[in-house]
Amino acid sequence: MNFIKKFFATIIAALTLTSNASAEKISSVMHKLEVHSQDSGGTLIFSDSPEYVRKNGILYTDTVSGDARILFYHLNDTGVRKKFAIIFENASDSKAVIKITRGGLSVPNKNFFAVGKDTQIMYMHNNFKDKIELHRYERKLYQPQEKYFLLKPGQLIHGVCDLNFSQPVKVYLMMYPENADPLEFVDRTEILPKDKNRLRGTFQNMNRTLTLKKPYDWKSDGLGYVIIGDDVNDRFKHGIDATDGSEVVNYGNYGVNYTINFRTKSLTRFCLSPLGGKYAGAIRFKYQGMSGVIQTPKHRLYFGDKTPYEPPHVVLARLEGLSLMRAGIELSELGNYRGTVSFEYSPPGASNLPVNIILMPKE
């Protein structure tokens, strides 16, 4: 492994020296910063398959208790107006209390990036709370903003919420006819099969904490980065599709909530850079008793579409811990910090991964 790293470092250095336009093509080598990764928390219910819903039916269902997160992402591809339902059913003979501690829900829209970004901004602001009580074996429809659950043809609905279930509760996510009674319809409809992407399932330990192993010092570390969502340095979660018992992979770790902890020895500039294409999201920072939500990007709906394509040798080098700060790379500013700073991050719906969080000296 060390030989491979040295080999790629030599290639990159040679490219930097020999290129006729080195300042245009390669600005500087970046080094991967080592982090400690730990998963924790409750159960993630993830429903994104079928993404394009072409008939009525149950999109996903499972029984959950304790802390949980529900994330759904579905498009009405039927040609007529449909409604989306979240249904909770008490699976025990004792009273169940469901506490919704935070959430984000976008107005249905045909613009995928607007839906993904709006949902994440709302979720990151962390200002939504609700409570539902269910008597023994009782079933209730949950549509906190009913108009948001009506989808015209081609519109996408996307939402995420954190919950706590005091008793085991069965959760149904369903697309159904506009004028039907969802509590009655759920008993006579079918569970829809997964599409080819198979992005649905139940995943344990819904939170991930990444902590820098040593304080960042640009004088010794140079330009540094932490990569998220590449399934090499940051592994995708594996789970079970409760509708058929099959094993599934959460490609992109959608619905996983990251806490990323940094320590720096001097004032450091932080940026987010998408590597997979178009990207629109939000990230929350906590620093010296302050906190806030930063849109990524701030002044555009999305970015990443203008970042230069990575040639194969650059991709291989990145897999071995080296990356390039190339001309044309798109950056979204996360702020300048000294000492301890943490970010709350979750892969936004509709956006492409992986992403780099880049650290560099403050100019």
Are the C-beta atoms of residues 201 and 239 closer than 8 Å to each other? yes
pTM, to two decimals = 0.92
At residue 145, the pLDDT reads 83
Q: What is the largest CA-CA distance in the chain?
A: 75
- Any domain includes 352: yes
Residues 150 and 222 in one domain: no
Report DSSP letters for 174-239, one per residue.
EEEETTS-HHHHTTTS-BPPP-TT--EEEEE--EEEEEESS-B-HHHH-EEEEEESSSSSSPPEEE
Domain check: are 97 and 153 in the same one? yes
168, 193, 218: which is the final residue of a domain? 193
What single-letter amino acid sits at 256? V
Q: Which amino acid would we find at residue 239?
A: G
Q: DSSP 3-state assignment of 9?
A: helix
Q: Which of 138, 161, 193 is the last residue of a domain?
A: 193
- Amino acid 284 reads R
Task: Tally Cβ neighbours within 10 Å of residue 309.
Answer: 6
The answer to whether residue 199 sits within a structural domain is: no
Domain match, 134 and 281 both: no
For residue 217, the enclosing domain spans 2-40+206-361
The CB density around residue 259, as the number of other CB atoms within 10 Å, is: 17
Sequence letter at residue 224 = G
pLDDT, tens digit, for every residue of 298-330? 999 999 999 887 778 777 887 778 887 887 899
The CATH code of the domain that includes 163 is 2.60.120
Q: 6 in a domain, yes or no?
A: yes
Boundary (domain end) residue, out of 193, 221, 236? 193
Task: Give the H or E element holding residue 155.
Answer: none
Q: 45 lies in a domain?
A: no
Per-residue pLDDT tens, the chain, 363 aa: give them: 454 455 455 444 444 433 333 333 445 889 999 999 999 999 999 999 999 999 999 999 999 999 999 999 999 999 999 999 999 999 999 999 999 999 999 999 999 999 999 999 999 998 889 999 999 999 999 998 888 999 999 999 999 999 999 999 999 999 999 999 999 999 999 999 999 999 999 999 999 999 999 999 999 999 999 999 999 999 999 999 999 999 999 999 999 999 999 999 999 999 999 999 999 999 999 999 999 999 999 999 999 999 887 778 777 887 778 887 887 899 999 999 999 999 999 999 999 999 999 999 987
Asked, for residue 198, whether it belongs to a domain, the answer is: no
Mark whether 305 and 282 lie in a shared domain.
Answer: yes
User: What tokens appear for 105 in the block?
Assistant: 């829900």
Written as six digits, the tokens of 300 are: 């555009």
Element (H, E) at 242: none
The count of domains in the chain is: 2
User: CA angle, 189 as apex, 237 and 169 as ends, to 5°?
Assistant: 50
Predicted pLDDT at 114:
97
Q: Do 240 and 111 share a structural domain?
A: no
Same-domain check for residues 293 and 320: yes
Write the DSSP symbol of residue 344. E
Residues 247, 121 within the same domain: no
Which residues, including other chains, have CB under 8 Å from residue 20's CB and lie 6 or more apart?
Answer: none
Task: Give the span between the Cα atoms of 130 and 282, in whole angstroms.
Answer: 23
